[in-house]
Structure 1
Amino acid sequence: MFTLVLHSHLPWLANHGRWPVGEEWLYQSWADCYLPIVETLERLADDGYTDVLSLGVTPVLAAQLDDPHCLSGMHHWLGNWQLRAHEATDRELSVREHRGSAAALQRFETRWRHGGSAALRPLLDAGTVELLGGPLAHPFAPLLDPRLREFSLREGLSDARARWGTAPSGIWAPECGFTPGMESEYAAAGVSHFMVDGPAMRGDTSLGRPVWDSDVVAFGRDLPVSYRVWSPKSGYPGHAAYRDFHTYDHATGLKPSRVTGRSVASNDKAPYDPERASATVDGHVADFVDVVRRRLTSESQRIGRDALVVAAFDTELFGHWWHEGPQWIDKLMRALPAAGITVGTLADAREQGYVGAPLELQDSSWGSGKDWRVWAGEDVADLVALNSEVTRTALDAVDAARHGQRSSGGPELRNRVNDQILRETLMAVASDWAFMVSKDSAAGYARERAHVHAHALREIAAASTGGSSARATALATQWNRADGLFPALDARRLRGAGTGSKREGTGGRP
């Protein structure tokens, strides 16, 4: 069996800047990736294809795709794209971009104006895709306080249930981060399977593996197959015929060129030719089908039974970074069954017995070195310290407020101040900020975002613990105007200090 897994994620960008980093990042990804990927899946569904792939959508991205501010901003951005197309002096570029923007506008206005949840729900109901969920706000879970880690996961699954009518049984843990003990938390939350990177399974990804003594199954990314598409040094998107992501027409922001060559200067790149690119897609589909077939054959022979191959990628690769990516997926998911290759989701693989012996899974991630250095290394020591401080501050404040309410003898009521404290805390500890700093990608923006959310929770918590309930309420309301995602988040569901968990440390085993 072959399984394609896509992980869709962006940090919360609404109301936190526009350009060069901020909402523009969301709207570009939405236009270039999410719209065409969903359209591709709808065509496959219309043609009778089911169990096409496992699609991870993080709660924080889902929140933005449903957010009224973001929906309005996206509509404005698509209109601006069409205006920019009309301003292009190259006629061929202008016509191509006008057609693209007009199609995107029409599609957004007819299929997306009620949000991403409404756009995706028919695909889930029809069994075209399996939905993978995850914890709220995308924290690097192994480094998170266990109480906040459990809360974030359960709230994330609840958020998915509210949006799509069902809670996912599978998840893509942020950054594929894992530490022993998390499998018990997964089982308690109703998670039956999750993704890790190939090296976490010592390179043997031919079957899913139950983790430690649980029934929760880990599936590993097959690196030789996945890297055929995308790797740090090679892969299909770098082909000379594909549209070049980094070369812009500076007057309009449009992308007029093809890659041409890796060492070719931007000014010397050849014009983009869609027909040439489409022919190249056909070649890369045929190549990938051959790669998958040979890998399945060799792995099945090695283990003496039918093997599983899981290729996994960030969804944003397809369309945003690699313009032709959605076209490649459309053709690939038709070509694989036509070539006699069984295609299914991770849930299919688990149900159909593509599961081997238990694995004592250790600390791991899919970051550099496959360890935790990206989120816990020297380059982000300040953020690690900040995360510890704000988590402690937040939990202490929420615990104190809840204790005071329980002491009054009445029922514990919804506390919007506590809700906002936890909301800002989860935003502050999002894995994106450390990743962006470690990779030197908009590091200043990342640090600013972490500190903005830290400041928010500090001043709300200080007012709350200082007895200024009116001020705490006012501050929580004000910060909620910018960070009002996850309205169903309820601090009453946070496990009380010292209760309900078998492990109170960082999750390790003896």
Structure 2
Amino acid sequence: MPVTTGPRGDEQVGTFCLVLHSHLPWLAHHGRWPVGEEWLYQSWAHSYLPVLGVVRRLAAEGRRDLLTLGVTPVLAAQLDDPHCLRGMHDWLGGWLLRAHGAAPRLPDLAAHEHRLAGAALAEFETRWRHGASPVLRELTDAGALELLGGPATHPFGPLLDDRVRAFALETGLADAGVRLGARPAGIWAPECGYAPGMEHGYAAAGVSRFLVDGPALRGDTGLGRTVGDSGVVCFGRDLDITYRVWSPRKGYPGGRDYRDFHTFDHPSGLKPARVTGRTVPPERKRPYDPALAAVAVERDAADFVTTVRDRLVALREQLGRPGLTVAAFDTELFGHWWHEGPAWLEAVLRALPDAGVRVTTLAAAVDAGLVGGPVELPASSWGSGKDWRVWAGAQVADLVELNAEVQRALLAAVDHTPPALVRDPLLDVLAEEALLALSSDWAFMVSKHSAADYARGRAQQHAGRVGELAGLLTADRRTAATRRVARWTDDSVFGHLDARRMTSPRAR
């Protein structure tokens, strides 16, 4: 049964922008691809394949400007890496075999999984064997997607030295340019982290729009806003709309008929249960029923479309003109965490235009003039408290100081090295190790008590390498530095990283 939510015709009550952010923080393992590759392959199979499949189907119908998608540079590198591509193909084959093995005990679930795994394997073999970049480039060239960029290794920008911040952003944007043929003009700043003045660095890098969380605009998210005198536009995440889907406390994925993420059939690794109830223990959860879940998808898609329409009608009355609402999520919610998420997404994107809602991208929203007057943004993030406490609070004071030491050592080595016409491989290694040490993920994992010892160990390992290599370079011990780097068997995440972009002010 199709979702119907409002009148057809030319009436448009406003604009809806869906923004997805693809980022798996714990995967870059010592500069190589992860030991915990299962996380990558699960998200690849259950989120990236089906979500982009939704976009491709809708694009084939002539629909354009469907959503805005951010893919962090480290994840983009993994999705193109030959090792990961081989591993993903093996993982999909294993998924199919696990479904077959479960058939004697769980025949209905096994049949469902067989269909999903077979379709994913065919999709991967047909379209993804050369990586994600050709897939993304095809959809962007067709006008179906706007791709967002971001700084390499996902650092928390407000805590970076200006030069390091500019270098990280340039490295990330250059990476996107290599993979996709064009530098993104929009970014999803890591953790939506912002400090006053960062917009000028964005403008210098060619970034003309970025995302912030709604409270940074005091909830006034009905239009994009230019930041100060920069001309750079910020878009605010509409929490009322976004939290309808997923919030710290509730959202559609918690519905009783959806597949339960946390309950496993351990012999097969498949998930056999539906949510049933928030307080129901795993052993008492009811079996998963795809037909019941499909009904829930229709119901929740209709509810969301009605909510978006009502929001836009209210904004039009408030602003005296059509406005917009921006819903922003981690891509992995759709399919990985919420099994039915891609089906819900497709239903919503089909139904919104029939409800008088224009679906478009952030870039197209700017082109349509959905931008209001300038604002002065406060320091902010999308983390707990909407401030910086997750990445700069007392619980991570040691990592904050470690990051400061990393930046001091990096800049000292850069300033000590004479300008060169060709790349310096030792300086490039130093810069990449520094960027890995500065990832925002380590502080996040510590603050959220998620593998905190591992996160601290990773940060300290990369910081230790920076300190050692920077010391050798500033002492002009390049032979010893070369021997030291040779002992690190890690592959480079960004083969085109060029530390000369971080030249000293004297050299410039």
TM over 0.5: yes
1:59–1:137: 8 Å Cα contact kept in structure 2?
yes
| Counterpart for residue 460 of structure 1 | 469
- TM-fit CA distance, 1:150: 0.4
| Counterpart for residue 363 of structure 1 | 379
Change (3 A) 1:459 1:68: farther
1:15–1:23: 8 Å Cα contact kept in structure 2?
no
Separation in 2 of the partners of 1:285 and 1:203? 24
Separation in 2 of the partners of 1:262 and 1:19? 36
Q: How does 1:478-497 map to 2 (within 5 A)?
A: 478-479=487-488, 481-497=489-505
Change (3 A) 1:446 1:81: same
Question: Equivalent of 2:97, from 83, 87, 91?
Answer: 83
1:29–1:316: 8 Å Cα contact kept in structure 2?
yes
Separation in 1 of the partners of 2:44 and 2:89? 11
Change (3 A) 1:37 1:478: farther
- TM-fit CA distance, 1:155: 1.6
1:29–1:320: 8 Å Cα contact kept in structure 2?
yes
2:67–2:146: 8 Å Cα contact kept in structure 1?
yes
Separation in 2 of the partners of 1:166 and 1:19? 25
Work out whether 1:443 is the aligned partner of 2:452: yes
Q: How does 1:258-407 map to 2 (within 5 A)?
A: 258-400=274-416, 402-403=417-418, 406=419
User: Runs of 5+ in structure 1 lacking a partner?
Assistant: 501-510
Question: Equivalent of 1:50, from 39, 51, 64?
Answer: 64
- TM-fit CA distance, 1:157: 1.1
Separation in 1 of the partners of 2:460 and 2:199? 31
- TM-fit CA distance, 1:19: 13
Q: What amino acid is the match of 2:389?
A: R
Change (3 A) 1:143 1:499: farther
Change (3 A) 1:420 1:12: farther
Deviation by residue 1:217-236 (Cα, 9 ceiling, x = unmatched): 00000010110000111100
Separation in 2 of the partners of 1:399 and 1:326? 49
SS in 1 for 2:372: coil
2:46–2:336: 8 Å Cα contact kept in structure 1?
yes
2:199–2:227: 8 Å Cα contact kept in structure 1?
yes
Separation in 1 of the partners of 2:295 and 2:456? 43
Deviation by residue 1:46-87 (Cα, 9 ceiling, x = unmatched): 111100011111111111111122112212222222222222
| Counterpart for residue 485 of structure 2 | 476
Change (3 A) 1:334 1:105: same
Q: After TM superposition, where is structure 1 displaced by more than 6 Å over at least 4 residues in a row? A: 17-21
- TM-fit CA distance, 1:412: 3.3
* Equivalent residue pairs, number: 492
Question: Equivalent of 1:71, from 85, 91, 94?
Answer: 85
Change (3 A) 1:342 1:19: closer
Separation in 1 of the partners of 2:212 and 2:473? 40
Change (3 A) 1:178 1:488: same
| Counterpart for residue 197 of structure 1 | 213
Q: What amino acid is the match of 1:248?
A: F
1:178–1:365: 8 Å Cα contact kept in structure 2?
yes
| Counterpart for residue 506 of structure 1 | none
Separation in 2 of the partners of 1:483 and 1:457? 16
2:31–2:490: 8 Å Cα contact kept in structure 1?
no
Change (3 A) 1:62 1:399: same
SS in 2 for 1:343: strand
Change (3 A) 1:456 1:74: farther
Change (3 A) 1:483 1:191: same
- TM-fit CA distance, 1:460: 2.5
Q: How does 1:127-206 map to 2 (within 5 A)?
A: 127-206=143-222
Q: What amino acid is the match of 1:282?
A: E
- TM-fit CA distance, 1:103: 1.7
Separation in 1 of the partners of 2:304 and 2:499? 47
Separation in 1 of the partners of 2:176 and 2:34? 30
- TM-fit CA distance, 1:441: 1.6
Separation in 2 of the partners of 1:422 and 1:317? 32
- TM-fit CA distance, 1:44: 0.8
SS in 1 for 2:492: coil
Separation in 1 of the partners of 2:454 and 2:351? 42
- TM-fit CA distance, 1:498: 6.2
Change (3 A) 1:237 1:12: closer
Separation in 2 of the partners of 1:472 and 1:203? 51
User: Runs of 5+ in structure 2 lacking a partner?
Assistant: 1-14
Q: What amino acid is the match of 2:135?
A: A
- TM-fit CA distance, 1:168: 0.7
Separation in 1 of the partners of 2:350 and 2:272? 30
2:27–2:34: 8 Å Cα contact kept in structure 1?
no
Separation in 2 of the partners of 1:270 and 1:17? 43
Separation in 2 of the partners of 1:106 and 1:14? 27
2:161–2:407: 8 Å Cα contact kept in structure 1?
yes
Percent identity for Structure 1 against Structure 2:
61
Change (3 A) 1:17 1:498: closer
Separation in 1 of the partners of 2:34 and 2:493? 23
- TM-fit CA distance, 1:11: 3.0
Out of 452-461 and 425-434, give the one that drifted further.
Answer: 452-461
Change (3 A) 1:19 1:184: closer
Deviation by residue 1:73-104 (Cα, 9 ceiling, x = unmatched): 21222222222222223122222222222221
Separation in 2 of the partners of 1:446 and 1:24? 18
| Counterpart for residue 8 of structure 2 | none
SS in 2 for 1:482: coil
- TM-fit CA distance, 1:398: 2.5
1:245–1:322: 8 Å Cα contact kept in structure 2?
yes
2:70–2:147: 8 Å Cα contact kept in structure 1?
yes
2:445–2:455: 8 Å Cα contact kept in structure 1?
yes
SS in 2 for 1:191: coil
1:12–1:60: 8 Å Cα contact kept in structure 2?
no
Separation in 1 of the partners of 2:45 and 2:171? 28
